[in-house]
Chain A
Amino acid sequence: MNKDAKEGNLMYKFQKITYTYRIYLLLITLILFVILPFVFSNQYFLTIIIKIGVYVCLAMGLNILTGYTGLVSLGHAGFVAIGAYASSILVVRHGFNFFAASLVGMIVAGVIGMILGLPSLRVSGTYLSIITLGFGEIIKMTAMNFTALTNGTLGIKNIPKPGIFGFTLNVTNYGLYYMMLITVILISLFCYLLVKSKTGRALQAIKTDELAATMMGININYYKIIAFVVSAMICAFGGSLYSVLIGYIDPNTFNFDVSTLILSIVILGGMGTLRGMFVGAIILIAFPEVSRFLMEYRFVLYGIILVLMMRFRPQGILGYKSVLPYALSKSVKERVDKLEGNVL
Protein backbone atom coordinates (compact mmCIF):
# COMPACT_ATOMS: atom_id res chain seq x y z
CA MET A 1 0.00 0.00 0.00
CA ASN A 2 1.50 3.34 -0.97
CA LYS A 3 1.77 6.34 1.32
CA ASP A 4 -1.25 8.19 -0.03
CA ALA A 5 -3.52 5.20 0.24
CA LYS A 6 -2.37 4.64 3.79
CA GLU A 7 -3.13 8.23 4.69
CA GLY A 8 -6.49 7.95 2.97
CA ASN A 9 -7.23 4.85 4.98
CA LEU A 10 -6.29 6.53 8.26
CA MET A 11 -8.44 9.49 7.31
CA TYR A 12 -11.30 7.16 6.57
CA LYS A 13 -10.96 5.46 9.94
CA PHE A 14 -10.73 8.81 11.73
CA GLN A 15 -13.82 10.12 9.98
CA LYS A 16 -15.71 6.89 10.50
CA ILE A 17 -15.02 7.01 14.23
CA THR A 18 -15.87 10.69 14.63
CA TYR A 19 -19.00 10.17 12.56
CA THR A 20 -20.20 7.12 14.49
CA TYR A 21 -19.70 8.75 17.88
CA ARG A 22 -20.61 12.26 16.76
CA ILE A 23 -23.49 12.58 19.21
CA TYR A 24 -21.32 11.63 22.19
CA LEU A 25 -18.50 13.90 21.06
CA LEU A 26 -20.91 16.78 20.67
CA LEU A 27 -22.46 16.12 24.08
CA ILE A 28 -19.09 15.93 25.82
CA THR A 29 -17.93 19.17 24.20
CA LEU A 30 -21.18 20.86 25.12
CA ILE A 31 -20.97 19.77 28.75
CA LEU A 32 -17.36 20.95 28.95
CA PHE A 33 -18.35 24.35 27.66
CA VAL A 34 -21.36 24.60 29.98
CA ILE A 35 -19.27 23.95 33.09
CA LEU A 36 -16.23 25.89 31.85
CA PRO A 37 -16.93 29.20 33.66
CA PHE A 38 -17.26 27.38 37.00
CA VAL A 39 -13.84 25.83 36.53
CA PHE A 40 -12.03 28.87 35.16
CA SER A 41 -13.87 31.88 36.48
CA ASN A 42 -11.06 34.28 35.68
CA GLN A 43 -12.65 37.36 34.02
CA TYR A 44 -9.82 37.93 31.58
CA PHE A 45 -9.96 34.31 30.48
CA LEU A 46 -13.73 34.40 30.02
CA THR A 47 -13.55 37.62 28.01
CA ILE A 48 -11.16 35.95 25.59
CA ILE A 49 -13.41 32.90 25.35
CA ILE A 50 -16.38 35.15 24.58
CA LYS A 51 -14.30 36.99 21.98
CA ILE A 52 -13.46 33.65 20.37
CA GLY A 53 -17.16 32.84 20.33
CA VAL A 54 -17.92 36.14 18.61
CA TYR A 55 -15.30 35.43 15.98
CA VAL A 56 -16.67 31.92 15.45
CA CYS A 57 -19.99 33.58 14.59
CA LEU A 58 -18.33 36.05 12.23
CA ALA A 59 -16.34 33.29 10.56
CA MET A 60 -19.52 31.18 10.16
CA GLY A 61 -21.10 34.16 8.43
CA LEU A 62 -18.22 34.72 6.03
CA ASN A 63 -17.89 30.98 5.47
CA ILE A 64 -21.36 30.84 3.91
CA LEU A 65 -20.19 33.34 1.32
CA THR A 66 -16.52 32.48 0.86
CA GLY A 67 -16.32 28.85 1.91
CA TYR A 68 -19.48 27.51 0.39
CA THR A 69 -20.33 29.88 -2.46
CA GLY A 70 -16.76 30.78 -3.42
CA LEU A 71 -17.19 34.56 -3.31
CA VAL A 72 -14.23 36.05 -1.46
CA SER A 73 -15.15 39.12 0.56
CA LEU A 74 -12.53 41.47 1.97
CA GLY A 75 -15.03 43.85 3.52
CA HIS A 76 -16.97 41.87 6.05
CA ALA A 77 -15.92 44.24 8.80
CA GLY A 78 -18.46 46.53 7.13
CA PHE A 79 -21.33 44.20 8.04
CA VAL A 80 -19.94 43.76 11.54
CA ALA A 81 -19.87 47.55 11.86
CA ILE A 82 -23.43 47.90 10.59
CA GLY A 83 -24.68 45.39 13.15
CA ALA A 84 -22.67 46.91 15.98
CA TYR A 85 -23.61 50.51 15.20
CA ALA A 86 -27.28 49.83 14.53
CA SER A 87 -27.77 47.91 17.75
CA SER A 88 -25.71 50.22 19.98
CA ILE A 89 -27.34 53.38 18.63
CA LEU A 90 -30.77 51.92 19.24
CA VAL A 91 -29.85 50.68 22.71
CA VAL A 92 -27.98 53.81 23.89
CA ARG A 93 -30.12 56.56 22.37
CA HIS A 94 -33.54 55.00 21.99
CA GLY A 95 -33.60 52.61 24.92
CA PHE A 96 -34.23 49.51 22.83
CA ASN A 97 -33.83 46.06 24.31
CA PHE A 98 -30.55 44.52 23.07
CA PHE A 99 -32.22 41.64 21.27
CA ALA A 100 -34.72 43.83 19.42
CA ALA A 101 -31.91 46.23 18.51
CA SER A 102 -29.66 43.50 17.14
CA LEU A 103 -32.56 42.14 15.13
CA VAL A 104 -32.92 45.57 13.52
CA GLY A 105 -29.15 45.58 12.92
CA MET A 106 -29.41 42.23 11.19
CA ILE A 107 -32.22 43.42 8.94
CA VAL A 108 -30.31 46.58 7.99
CA ALA A 109 -27.21 44.52 7.24
CA GLY A 110 -29.31 42.05 5.24
CA VAL A 111 -30.70 44.82 3.04
CA ILE A 112 -27.25 46.34 2.53
CA GLY A 113 -25.90 42.85 1.85
CA MET A 114 -28.48 42.45 -0.88
CA ILE A 115 -27.44 45.79 -2.41
CA LEU A 116 -23.78 44.77 -2.26
CA GLY A 117 -24.68 41.37 -3.69
CA LEU A 118 -26.10 42.90 -6.87
CA PRO A 119 -22.73 43.87 -8.38
CA SER A 120 -21.47 40.40 -7.52
CA LEU A 121 -23.74 39.08 -10.25
CA ARG A 122 -21.65 40.89 -12.84
CA VAL A 123 -18.12 40.45 -11.52
CA SER A 124 -16.30 37.57 -9.91
CA GLY A 125 -12.98 36.58 -8.43
CA THR A 126 -10.53 39.36 -7.70
CA TYR A 127 -12.86 42.08 -8.94
CA LEU A 128 -15.52 41.09 -6.45
CA SER A 129 -12.94 41.15 -3.67
CA ILE A 130 -12.01 44.70 -4.66
CA ILE A 131 -15.66 45.78 -4.57
CA THR A 132 -16.13 44.31 -1.11
CA LEU A 133 -12.87 45.91 0.01
CA GLY A 134 -14.27 49.25 -1.11
CA PHE A 135 -17.52 48.51 0.69
CA GLY A 136 -15.72 47.94 3.99
CA GLU A 137 -13.92 51.27 3.63
CA ILE A 138 -17.13 53.08 2.70
CA ILE A 139 -18.81 51.85 5.86
CA LYS A 140 -15.82 52.87 7.96
CA MET A 141 -15.69 56.34 6.38
CA THR A 142 -19.41 56.76 6.85
CA ALA A 143 -19.06 55.87 10.52
CA MET A 144 -16.25 58.42 10.82
CA ASN A 145 -17.96 61.31 9.09
CA PHE A 146 -21.69 60.90 9.67
CA THR A 147 -21.25 62.45 13.12
CA ALA A 148 -24.94 63.07 13.74
CA LEU A 149 -25.66 59.34 13.65
CA THR A 150 -22.44 57.65 14.72
CA ASN A 151 -20.73 60.31 16.85
CA GLY A 152 -17.77 60.24 14.44
CA THR A 153 -14.34 59.21 15.60
CA LEU A 154 -15.34 59.58 19.25
CA GLY A 155 -17.43 56.49 18.87
CA ILE A 156 -20.23 55.26 21.08
CA LYS A 157 -19.37 54.83 24.76
CA ASN A 158 -21.00 53.05 27.66
CA ILE A 159 -22.98 50.52 25.70
CA PRO A 160 -25.03 48.80 28.42
CA LYS A 161 -24.84 45.06 28.88
CA PRO A 162 -27.90 43.26 27.57
CA GLY A 163 -30.64 42.34 29.98
CA ILE A 164 -33.23 39.62 29.90
CA PHE A 165 -36.27 39.69 32.24
CA GLY A 166 -34.54 42.29 34.41
CA PHE A 167 -31.42 40.16 34.71
CA THR A 168 -28.29 41.83 33.39
CA LEU A 169 -25.93 39.62 31.45
CA ASN A 170 -22.28 40.45 32.02
CA VAL A 171 -18.95 38.68 32.25
CA THR A 172 -18.92 38.39 36.05
CA ASN A 173 -22.22 36.55 36.39
CA TYR A 174 -21.37 34.42 33.31
CA GLY A 175 -24.51 35.74 31.57
CA LEU A 176 -22.58 37.05 28.59
CA TYR A 177 -20.69 33.78 28.33
CA TYR A 178 -23.86 31.74 28.13
CA MET A 179 -25.41 34.14 25.69
CA MET A 180 -22.35 33.70 23.48
CA LEU A 181 -22.55 29.92 23.88
CA ILE A 182 -26.21 29.80 22.89
CA THR A 183 -25.61 32.14 19.95
CA VAL A 184 -22.73 30.01 18.68
CA ILE A 185 -24.82 26.85 18.99
CA LEU A 186 -27.78 28.40 17.20
CA ILE A 187 -25.68 29.86 14.41
CA SER A 188 -23.75 26.60 13.94
CA LEU A 189 -27.00 24.67 13.83
CA PHE A 190 -28.44 27.11 11.33
CA CYS A 191 -25.35 26.88 9.12
CA TYR A 192 -25.37 23.09 9.38
CA LEU A 193 -28.98 22.87 8.26
CA LEU A 194 -28.42 25.46 5.54
CA VAL A 195 -25.45 23.58 4.11
CA LYS A 196 -27.34 20.28 4.11
CA SER A 197 -30.39 21.84 2.51
CA LYS A 198 -31.21 22.27 -1.14
CA THR A 199 -30.00 25.86 -0.90
CA GLY A 200 -26.67 24.65 0.49
CA ARG A 201 -26.24 22.21 -2.36
CA ALA A 202 -26.97 25.00 -4.82
CA LEU A 203 -24.32 27.23 -3.22
CA GLN A 204 -21.69 24.49 -3.38
CA ALA A 205 -22.56 23.75 -6.99
CA ILE A 206 -22.11 27.44 -7.85
CA LYS A 207 -18.72 27.41 -6.19
CA THR A 208 -17.54 24.43 -8.24
CA ASP A 209 -18.89 25.34 -11.64
CA GLU A 210 -21.35 28.12 -12.37
CA LEU A 211 -22.17 27.02 -15.89
CA ALA A 212 -22.85 23.44 -14.91
CA ALA A 213 -24.91 24.67 -11.96
CA THR A 214 -27.20 26.71 -14.22
CA MET A 215 -27.70 23.71 -16.42
CA MET A 216 -28.86 21.73 -13.42
CA GLY A 217 -31.58 24.34 -13.07
CA ILE A 218 -30.01 26.43 -10.33
CA ASN A 219 -30.78 30.15 -10.45
CA ILE A 220 -27.28 31.47 -9.79
CA ASN A 221 -28.19 35.11 -9.28
CA TYR A 222 -30.83 34.30 -6.71
CA TYR A 223 -28.60 32.03 -4.66
CA LYS A 224 -25.65 34.42 -4.74
CA ILE A 225 -27.86 37.15 -3.29
CA ILE A 226 -29.15 34.70 -0.67
CA ALA A 227 -25.56 33.91 0.31
CA PHE A 228 -24.75 37.61 0.66
CA VAL A 229 -27.82 38.35 2.75
CA VAL A 230 -27.40 35.39 5.12
CA SER A 231 -23.71 36.08 5.51
CA ALA A 232 -24.32 39.78 6.23
CA MET A 233 -27.01 39.03 8.81
CA ILE A 234 -24.90 36.56 10.74
CA CYS A 235 -21.94 38.95 10.79
CA ALA A 236 -24.19 41.80 11.90
CA PHE A 237 -25.34 39.79 14.90
CA GLY A 238 -21.71 39.01 15.68
CA GLY A 239 -21.10 42.76 15.58
CA SER A 240 -23.88 43.48 18.09
CA LEU A 241 -22.46 40.81 20.37
CA TYR A 242 -19.00 42.35 20.07
CA SER A 243 -20.30 45.82 20.93
CA VAL A 244 -21.85 44.71 24.21
CA LEU A 245 -18.81 42.66 25.13
CA ILE A 246 -16.37 45.55 24.75
CA GLY A 247 -18.87 48.27 25.68
CA TYR A 248 -17.36 50.81 23.30
CA ILE A 249 -17.18 51.05 19.51
CA ASP A 250 -15.56 53.55 17.16
CA PRO A 251 -14.91 53.45 13.40
CA ASN A 252 -11.43 52.01 13.90
CA THR A 253 -12.83 48.98 15.68
CA PHE A 254 -13.99 47.80 12.27
CA ASN A 255 -11.02 48.46 10.04
CA PHE A 256 -9.55 46.32 7.31
CA ASP A 257 -7.67 44.20 9.88
CA VAL A 258 -10.96 42.80 11.14
CA SER A 259 -11.98 41.78 7.61
CA THR A 260 -8.68 40.01 7.05
CA LEU A 261 -8.83 38.42 10.49
CA ILE A 262 -12.23 36.90 9.76
CA LEU A 263 -11.03 35.72 6.36
CA SER A 264 -7.87 34.28 7.94
CA ILE A 265 -9.97 32.30 10.40
CA VAL A 266 -12.04 30.87 7.55
CA ILE A 267 -8.97 29.96 5.51
CA LEU A 268 -6.87 28.68 8.40
CA GLY A 269 -9.69 26.56 9.79
CA GLY A 270 -10.73 25.19 6.41
CA MET A 271 -13.01 26.88 3.90
CA GLY A 272 -16.32 25.22 3.42
CA THR A 273 -16.30 23.36 6.74
CA LEU A 274 -18.08 24.25 9.95
CA ARG A 275 -15.62 22.52 12.30
CA GLY A 276 -12.77 24.60 10.86
CA MET A 277 -14.31 27.85 12.07
CA PHE A 278 -13.91 26.82 15.71
CA VAL A 279 -10.29 25.79 15.33
CA GLY A 280 -9.43 28.85 13.25
CA ALA A 281 -11.01 31.26 15.73
CA ILE A 282 -9.41 29.59 18.74
CA ILE A 283 -5.94 29.75 17.19
CA LEU A 284 -6.09 33.22 15.72
CA ILE A 285 -7.84 34.95 18.64
CA ALA A 286 -6.11 33.14 21.48
CA PHE A 287 -2.67 33.32 19.90
CA PRO A 288 -2.05 37.08 20.37
CA GLU A 289 -3.15 36.72 23.99
CA VAL A 290 -1.07 33.72 24.99
CA SER A 291 1.98 35.08 23.23
CA ARG A 292 1.98 38.47 24.92
CA PHE A 293 5.41 37.73 26.41
CA LEU A 294 6.84 37.89 22.86
CA MET A 295 5.91 41.60 22.71
CA GLU A 296 5.69 42.92 19.15
CA TYR A 297 7.49 39.86 17.76
CA ARG A 298 4.29 37.89 18.15
CA PHE A 299 3.00 39.27 14.86
CA VAL A 300 6.09 37.92 13.13
CA LEU A 301 5.24 34.50 14.49
CA TYR A 302 1.62 35.04 13.49
CA GLY A 303 2.70 35.69 9.92
CA ILE A 304 4.96 32.64 9.93
CA ILE A 305 2.07 30.44 11.04
CA LEU A 306 -0.05 31.63 8.11
CA VAL A 307 2.77 31.18 5.60
CA LEU A 308 3.58 27.68 6.87
CA MET A 309 -0.05 26.77 6.66
CA MET A 310 -0.29 27.94 3.07
CA ARG A 311 2.74 25.82 2.20
CA PHE A 312 1.82 22.61 3.99
CA ARG A 313 -1.92 22.63 4.40
CA PRO A 314 -3.54 24.93 1.85
CA GLN A 315 -6.97 23.40 2.43
CA GLY A 316 -6.93 24.60 6.05
CA ILE A 317 -6.24 22.75 9.27
CA LEU A 318 -9.53 20.86 9.27
CA GLY A 319 -10.23 21.39 5.59
CA TYR A 320 -10.44 17.75 4.64
CA LYS A 321 -13.13 16.50 2.37
CA SER A 322 -15.40 13.86 3.78
CA VAL A 323 -14.39 10.42 2.50
CA LEU A 324 -17.56 8.85 3.83
CA PRO A 325 -20.07 8.04 1.11
CA TYR A 326 -22.74 10.59 0.36
CA ALA A 327 -26.00 9.64 2.00
CA LEU A 328 -28.85 9.39 -0.47
CA SER A 329 -32.29 9.54 1.01
CA LYS A 330 -33.42 6.15 2.22
CA SER A 331 -36.10 5.26 -0.30
CA VAL A 332 -33.80 6.24 -3.17
CA LYS A 333 -30.88 4.29 -1.70
CA GLU A 334 -32.95 1.13 -1.37
CA ARG A 335 -33.98 1.14 -5.00
CA VAL A 336 -30.51 2.00 -6.25
CA ASP A 337 -28.97 -0.78 -4.17
CA LYS A 338 -31.45 -3.30 -5.49
CA LEU A 339 -30.30 -2.39 -8.96
CA GLU A 340 -26.86 -3.82 -8.37
CA GLY A 341 -27.93 -7.40 -9.08
CA ASN A 342 -29.46 -6.64 -12.44
CA VAL A 343 -26.67 -4.48 -13.73
CA LEU A 344 -23.36 -5.96 -12.77
Chain B
Amino acid sequence: MLKISDLHTYYGVIHALKGIDMEVGKGEIVSLIGSNGAGKTTLLNSVMGVCKSSNGKISFKDKDITNISTYKLSKLGIGISPEGREVFPELSVEENLRLGAYTVSSKNDISTGYERVYKLFPRLKERYKQSAGTLSGGEQQMLAVGRALMSAPELLLLDEPSLGLAPNFVMMIFDMIKEINKQGVTILLIEQNANMALSISDKAYVLENGTVSLSGNAKDIAKDDRIRKAYLGIA
Protein backbone atom coordinates (compact mmCIF):
# COMPACT_ATOMS: atom_id res chain seq x y z
CA MET B 1 0.00 0.00 0.00
CA LEU B 2 2.79 2.41 0.94
CA LYS B 3 6.08 1.85 -0.78
CA ILE B 4 9.25 3.82 -0.16
CA SER B 5 12.33 3.19 -2.26
CA ASP B 6 15.83 4.59 -1.90
CA LEU B 7 14.70 7.73 -0.09
CA HIS B 8 17.25 10.43 0.72
CA THR B 9 16.43 13.51 2.77
CA TYR B 10 18.78 16.29 3.79
CA TYR B 11 18.53 19.02 6.39
CA GLY B 12 20.88 21.51 4.76
CA VAL B 13 24.16 19.56 4.61
CA ILE B 14 23.09 16.91 7.11
CA HIS B 15 22.22 13.67 5.41
CA ALA B 16 19.28 12.56 7.58
CA LEU B 17 17.88 9.68 5.54
CA LYS B 18 20.40 7.67 3.59
CA GLY B 19 18.44 5.51 1.22
CA ILE B 20 15.41 4.06 2.97
CA ASP B 21 13.53 1.13 1.48
CA MET B 22 10.28 0.21 3.09
CA GLU B 23 6.97 -1.38 2.31
CA VAL B 24 3.68 -1.34 4.17
CA GLY B 25 1.20 -3.91 2.94
CA LYS B 26 -2.57 -3.57 3.07
CA GLY B 27 -4.09 -4.41 6.43
CA GLU B 28 -0.77 -4.61 8.26
CA ILE B 29 0.54 -2.87 11.34
CA VAL B 30 4.10 -1.89 10.59
CA SER B 31 6.20 -0.30 13.25
CA LEU B 32 9.24 1.82 12.82
CA ILE B 33 11.53 1.82 15.82
CA GLY B 34 14.85 3.41 16.56
CA SER B 35 16.61 5.60 19.05
CA ASN B 36 16.53 9.38 19.21
CA GLY B 37 17.90 10.98 16.09
CA ALA B 38 17.68 7.82 14.02
CA GLY B 39 15.42 9.55 11.51
CA LYS B 40 11.99 8.17 12.40
CA THR B 41 10.18 11.47 12.40
CA THR B 42 12.16 12.67 9.38
CA LEU B 43 10.96 9.63 7.50
CA LEU B 44 7.37 10.37 8.45
CA ASN B 45 7.78 14.03 7.55
CA SER B 46 9.18 13.01 4.19
CA VAL B 47 6.17 10.80 3.55
CA MET B 48 3.89 13.69 4.48
CA GLY B 49 5.77 16.15 2.29
CA VAL B 50 6.70 18.36 5.23
CA CYS B 51 10.39 17.65 4.55
CA LYS B 52 11.31 17.58 0.90
CA SER B 53 13.36 14.57 -0.05
CA SER B 54 16.03 14.98 -2.69
CA ASN B 55 16.12 11.47 -4.05
CA GLY B 56 13.95 8.40 -4.11
CA LYS B 57 10.33 7.58 -4.50
CA ILE B 58 7.30 7.24 -2.23
CA SER B 59 4.13 5.74 -3.61
CA PHE B 60 0.73 5.13 -2.09
CA LYS B 61 -1.53 2.63 -3.81
CA ASP B 62 0.78 2.80 -6.86
CA LYS B 63 0.41 6.57 -7.03
CA ASP B 64 3.55 8.67 -6.74
CA ILE B 65 3.28 10.90 -3.69
CA THR B 66 6.93 11.98 -3.39
CA ASN B 67 7.13 15.55 -2.06
CA ILE B 68 3.37 15.94 -2.21
CA SER B 69 1.70 19.02 -0.68
CA THR B 70 0.72 17.89 2.79
CA TYR B 71 -2.90 18.99 2.59
CA LYS B 72 -3.60 16.57 -0.26
CA LEU B 73 -2.93 13.48 1.87
CA SER B 74 -6.24 13.62 3.69
CA LYS B 75 -8.19 13.36 0.43
CA LEU B 76 -6.01 10.48 -0.76
CA GLY B 77 -6.94 8.45 2.30
CA ILE B 78 -3.99 8.96 4.61
CA GLY B 79 -4.78 10.00 8.18
CA ILE B 80 -2.09 11.41 10.43
CA SER B 81 -1.80 11.70 14.17
CA PRO B 82 1.28 13.88 14.53
CA GLU B 83 3.95 13.82 17.19
CA GLY B 84 2.92 15.87 20.20
CA ARG B 85 -0.73 15.38 19.21
CA GLU B 86 -1.40 18.91 17.92
CA VAL B 87 -5.08 19.04 18.80
CA PHE B 88 -6.84 22.41 18.53
CA PRO B 89 -6.77 23.40 22.20
CA GLU B 90 -9.50 26.03 22.12
CA LEU B 91 -11.99 23.92 20.24
CA SER B 92 -14.18 21.34 21.90
CA VAL B 93 -13.72 17.63 21.33
CA GLU B 94 -16.66 17.59 18.97
CA GLU B 95 -15.32 20.54 16.98
CA ASN B 96 -11.90 18.93 16.73
CA LEU B 97 -13.49 15.82 15.29
CA ARG B 98 -15.59 17.89 12.92
CA LEU B 99 -12.40 19.48 11.58
CA GLY B 100 -10.97 16.02 11.09
CA ALA B 101 -13.77 15.47 8.62
CA TYR B 102 -12.89 18.67 6.77
CA THR B 103 -12.44 16.90 3.45
CA VAL B 104 -15.59 14.81 3.90
CA SER B 105 -18.62 16.40 2.33
CA SER B 106 -21.34 13.81 2.88
CA LYS B 107 -23.21 14.30 6.15
CA ASN B 108 -23.84 10.60 6.32
CA ASP B 109 -20.11 9.90 6.25
CA ILE B 110 -19.53 12.52 8.96
CA SER B 111 -22.09 10.82 11.21
CA THR B 112 -20.51 7.45 10.54
CA GLY B 113 -17.17 8.94 11.50
CA TYR B 114 -18.53 10.22 14.81
CA GLU B 115 -20.12 6.87 15.54
CA ARG B 116 -16.91 5.04 14.85
CA VAL B 117 -14.75 7.37 16.95
CA TYR B 118 -17.15 7.51 19.89
CA LYS B 119 -17.46 3.72 19.88
CA LEU B 120 -13.69 3.33 19.92
CA PHE B 121 -13.18 6.03 22.52
CA PRO B 122 -16.22 6.31 24.80
CA ARG B 123 -14.16 8.70 26.90
CA LEU B 124 -14.31 11.25 24.11
CA LYS B 125 -18.07 10.95 23.95
CA GLU B 126 -18.25 11.70 27.67
CA ARG B 127 -16.21 14.86 27.15
CA TYR B 128 -17.51 16.00 23.80
CA LYS B 129 -18.24 19.54 25.00
CA GLN B 130 -14.96 20.06 26.80
CA SER B 131 -12.25 22.09 25.10
CA ALA B 132 -9.41 19.90 23.93
CA GLY B 133 -6.75 21.86 25.79
CA THR B 134 -8.22 20.79 29.12
CA LEU B 135 -8.10 17.07 28.35
CA SER B 136 -5.43 14.87 29.86
CA GLY B 137 -2.52 13.74 27.72
CA GLY B 138 -4.03 10.35 27.07
CA GLU B 139 -7.38 11.80 26.12
CA GLN B 140 -5.69 14.26 23.79
CA GLN B 141 -3.93 11.33 22.16
CA MET B 142 -7.27 9.56 21.71
CA LEU B 143 -8.62 12.73 20.20
CA ALA B 144 -5.70 13.04 17.79
CA VAL B 145 -6.20 9.45 16.64
CA GLY B 146 -9.97 9.91 16.48
CA ARG B 147 -9.62 13.09 14.49
CA ALA B 148 -7.39 11.31 12.00
CA LEU B 149 -10.04 8.57 11.67
CA MET B 150 -12.82 11.05 10.84
CA SER B 151 -11.76 11.23 7.22
CA ALA B 152 -12.05 7.41 6.98
CA PRO B 153 -8.42 6.84 6.00
CA GLU B 154 -7.06 3.62 4.56
CA LEU B 155 -3.62 4.28 5.99
CA LEU B 156 -3.05 5.79 9.40
CA LEU B 157 0.32 7.29 10.31
CA LEU B 158 0.86 7.43 14.07
CA ASP B 159 3.85 9.32 15.38
CA GLU B 160 4.78 8.41 18.95
CA PRO B 161 1.25 7.79 20.25
CA SER B 162 2.64 6.70 23.65
CA LEU B 163 4.76 9.82 24.19
CA GLY B 164 4.47 11.06 27.75
CA LEU B 165 1.49 8.90 28.71
CA ALA B 166 0.80 6.98 31.89
CA PRO B 167 1.36 3.21 31.50
CA ASN B 168 -2.34 2.32 31.64
CA PHE B 169 -3.07 4.83 28.88
CA VAL B 170 -0.23 3.37 26.82
CA MET B 171 -1.84 -0.06 27.08
CA MET B 172 -5.19 1.41 26.13
CA ILE B 173 -3.84 3.27 23.12
CA PHE B 174 -2.13 0.14 21.83
CA ASP B 175 -5.32 -1.88 22.28
CA MET B 176 -7.14 0.78 20.26
CA ILE B 177 -4.52 0.62 17.52
CA LYS B 178 -5.12 -3.12 17.24
CA GLU B 179 -8.86 -2.53 17.16
CA ILE B 180 -8.57 0.11 14.44
CA ASN B 181 -6.40 -2.25 12.44
CA LYS B 182 -9.07 -4.96 12.75
CA GLN B 183 -11.51 -2.54 11.12
CA GLY B 184 -9.33 -2.67 8.04
CA VAL B 185 -7.06 0.32 8.47
CA THR B 186 -3.41 -0.14 7.61
CA ILE B 187 -1.17 1.37 10.24
CA LEU B 188 2.35 2.73 10.18
CA LEU B 189 3.42 3.18 13.77
CA ILE B 190 6.43 5.16 14.84
CA GLU B 191 7.48 4.39 18.37
CA GLN B 192 10.22 4.66 20.92
CA ASN B 193 8.48 2.14 23.11
CA ALA B 194 9.85 -0.73 21.06
CA ASN B 195 8.54 -3.43 23.35
CA MET B 196 4.91 -2.42 22.99
CA ALA B 197 5.22 -1.59 19.33
CA LEU B 198 6.72 -4.95 18.44
CA SER B 199 4.09 -6.83 20.42
CA ILE B 200 1.23 -5.59 18.25
CA SER B 201 2.98 -5.28 14.87
CA ASP B 202 3.13 -7.63 11.93
CA LYS B 203 6.30 -6.18 10.53
CA ALA B 204 8.96 -3.87 11.87
CA TYR B 205 11.81 -1.73 10.61
CA VAL B 206 14.68 -0.66 12.81
CA LEU B 207 16.20 2.66 11.90
CA GLU B 208 19.75 3.63 12.80
CA ASN B 209 21.54 6.77 11.66
CA GLY B 210 19.26 7.23 8.70
CA THR B 211 19.41 3.69 7.37
CA VAL B 212 17.31 0.61 7.92
CA SER B 213 19.57 -1.64 9.97
CA LEU B 214 17.11 -4.45 10.42
CA SER B 215 13.71 -5.36 9.05
CA GLY B 216 11.34 -8.26 9.02
CA ASN B 217 8.71 -10.04 11.02
CA ALA B 218 8.04 -8.23 14.29
CA LYS B 219 8.26 -11.40 16.35
CA ASP B 220 11.67 -12.25 14.95
CA ILE B 221 12.93 -8.77 15.58
CA ALA B 222 11.75 -8.90 19.16
CA LYS B 223 13.88 -11.99 19.58
CA ASP B 224 16.97 -10.50 17.95
CA ASP B 225 19.79 -10.16 20.47
CA ARG B 226 20.99 -6.75 19.32
CA ILE B 227 17.51 -5.32 19.50
CA ARG B 228 16.87 -6.81 22.90
CA LYS B 229 20.01 -5.14 24.16
CA ALA B 230 19.65 -1.80 22.47
CA TYR B 231 15.92 -1.12 22.71
CA LEU B 232 14.22 -3.52 25.00
CA GLY B 233 16.73 -3.30 27.83
CA ILE B 234 16.89 -7.07 28.18
CA ALA B 235 20.37 -8.55 28.22
Give me the interface of A with B, judged by CB distance under 8 Å. Answer: 198, 201-202, 205, 208-209, 211-212, 214-220, 321, 325-326, 328-329, 331-332, 335-336, 339-340, 342-344
Contact = CB atoms under 8 A, between A and B. Distances in A.
Contacts of A202: 102
A335 B114 contact: yes
A208 B125 contact: no
Nearest to B92: A326
A326 B126 contact: no
A315 B141 CA distance: 28
Contacts of B94: 325-326, 328
A324 to B, nearest CB: 10
A336 to B, nearest CB: 5
A332 B122 CA distance: 18
15 contacts: A205-B102, A211-B82, A214-B70, A215-B80, A216-B147, A217-B71, A217-B103, A326-B91, A328-B98, A331-B107, A336-B111, A336-B114, A339-B115, A339-B118, A344-B126
A203 to B, nearest CB: 12
A202 B98 CA distance: 12
Given A211-B82, A212-B82, A343-B118, A326 B107 contact: no
B37 interface: no
Interface string B157-168: 000000000000
Contacts of A343: 118-119, 122, 125
B39 interface: no
A331 B72 CA distance: 28
B110 interface: yes
A212 B114 contact: no
B122 A215 contact: no
A215 B74 contact: yes
Contacts of B90: 208, 321
A143 B94 CA distance: 50
B187 interface: no
A201 B99 contact: yes
Contacts of B91: 208, 326
B69 interface: yes
Contacts of A344: 122, 125-126
B140 to A, nearest CB: 12
A216 B115 contact: no
B95 interface: yes
B74 A208 contact: no
Contacts of A217: 71-75, 102-103, 151
B204 to A, nearest CB: 25
A277 B150 CA distance: 35
Interface string B79-109: 0101000111111101100111011000110
A219 B80 CA distance: 15
Contacts of A342: 119
B129 interface: yes
Nearest to B105: A198
A205 B88 CA distance: 8
Interface of B: 48, 50, 69-75, 80, 82, 86-92, 94-95, 98-100, 102-103, 107-108, 110-111, 114-115, 118-119, 122, 125-126, 129, 147-148, 151
Nearest to B121: A343
Given A216-B74, A217-B74, A211 B92 contact: no
Nearest to B150: A216
Given A201-B99, A216-B74, A220-B71, A329 B87 contact: no
A314 to B, nearest CB: 15
B99 A205 contact: yes
Nearest to B125: A343
Contacts of B148: 215
A117 B95 CA distance: 28
Contacts of B125: 339-340, 343-344
A201 B103 CA distance: 12
Nearest to B122: A343
A339 B72 CA distance: 31
B93 to A, nearest CB: 10
A342 B118 CA distance: 10
A216 B118 contact: no
Given A205-B88, A212-B86, A332-B107, A326 B100 contact: no
B111 A331 contact: yes
B88 to A, nearest CB: 5
A205 B147 CA distance: 14
Contact of B99 (A216, A219, A329, A336): A216
A326 B102 contact: no
Closest 8 CB pairs of A and B: A217-B74, A217-B103, A335-B111, A212-B86, A214-B70, A216-B102, A219-B71, A215-B80
Contacts of B151: 216-217
Listed residue (B89, B111, B122) with the most chain A CB atoms within 10 angstroms of its CB: B111
Contacts of B75: 217
Contacts of A332: 107, 110-111, 114
Contact of B88 (A212, A331, A339, A340): A212
Contacts of A201: 99, 102
